[in-house]
Amino acid sequence: MLIITPHDYSNNLILPEEERIYAALDWSGPLSKDAHAILSAGKATFEYFGGKPAWRDYHGWYKKQYRNFFDSLQDAGIHPDDFGAAQIFGKYGQFLKDLERKGIHAVPYPDIYEALYALARTGHKIEIVSHHPQVEAEARRYGIRHLLNRVRDNILHDKSSHLVEIAKEIGEPDRVIFVTDTPADIEMAHKANRILDVDERFGIQSIAILRPEREMPYSTLKQLKKAKPTLDIVSNLKEASHMMLTYERERIRRPKPARWI
């Protein structure tokens, strides 16, 4: 098990509150390599509820180009309204725990440690915003829980309301940067800006991560481009953290809009 010693922040420059960004990070894909466990648990869940997966392995699933877990559910013949999202996700979480006991579990991407420390050492906030039900346990196992200011996991529906809540808490939506690897999540950032009624230049920003195919990504370049992240598409969390820090230095120098939320 990989354990990282908690960092000593005493010699680091902590930025003033108004200069800190709020990194809202999806878990599966950006931080956690978990496609094998998730697809295995997903297949067991589909079969438990009487569905038939439309794929046999990761490559078959990847070719389907699902936007999210709910799309794959419906393609398997399961409608969440028939059983309730909470019941489906509860059974899915049980299968994940069963797989972990058998040695099939998620592992951290190596680049996440440098990325998270680059953000945390100067006071930037880090929150997890994820559908995944096992974030708390996996974050502790990866040795990074102390770097996370808050964990929002096991989200049953879309994430836009959580992004809106974060933006309203700090009062400046453009300090929130959502990092994800799915087109559905990028669309949730756009939706949150519409709810907040802010121009996307001054709203919640988004970065898409597309890892190499050997690392079992969840989306394709075509899907992510179509979703139009406001900042860019990068290949890992380390690159995303550099982009966030560069964005923040530019953000604090530009004029503020006349109206905030």
pTM for the whole structure: 0.89
The model's pLDDT over 151-202, given as tens digits with 9 standing for 90+, comes to: 999 998 889 999 999 999 999 999 999 999 999 999 999 999 999 999 999 9
**Mean pLDDT value of segment 100-117:** 95
Higher-confidence residue of 7 and 92: namely 92
Question: pLDDT-derived band of residue 41, with 50, 70 and 90 as boundaries?
Answer: very high
| DSSP of 4-68 | -PPP--TTS-PPPGGG--EEEE-SBTTTEE-HHHHHHHHHHHHHHTT---S-SSHHHHHHH--SS
Q: What sign does the dihedral 160-166-169-175 (CA atoms) show?
A: negative
Domain boundaries of the chain, sorted by first residue = 17-33+108-251, 35-101
- Among all chains, which residue has been given the structure tokens 């990989």? 2
- The pLDDT value given to residue 157: 81
Cα gap 236→208, rounded to integer Å: 9
Q: Which amino acid is at 77?
A: G
* pLDDT average, residue stretch 105-125: 95
* Helix extents (H) in 85-153: 85-101, 112-120, 135-142
β-bridge mates for residue 33, sequence order: 107
Rounded to 10 deg, the angle between the 112-120 and 237-251 helix axes is 20
pLDDT digits (tens, 9 = 90+) for 214-240: 898 989 999 999 999 999 999 999 999
Look up the CATH number of domain 17-33+108-251: 3.40.50.1000
- Residue 26's SS3 state is coil
How far is 64 from 62, CA to CA, in rounded Å?
A: 5
pLDDT band at 103 (very low <50, low <70, confident <90, very high): very high
> Mean pLDDT, to the nearest integer, of 137-144?
96
Tokens 């299968």 found at: 95
Query: What DSSP assignment string belongs to 138-186?
Result: HHHHHT-GGG-SEEE----S-SHHHHHHHHHHHS-GGGEEEEES-HHHH
What's the DSSP call for residue 37? H
What's the pLDDT at 252? 80
Amino acid identity, position 190: H
State what percent of residues in the chain have pLDDT above 90. 67
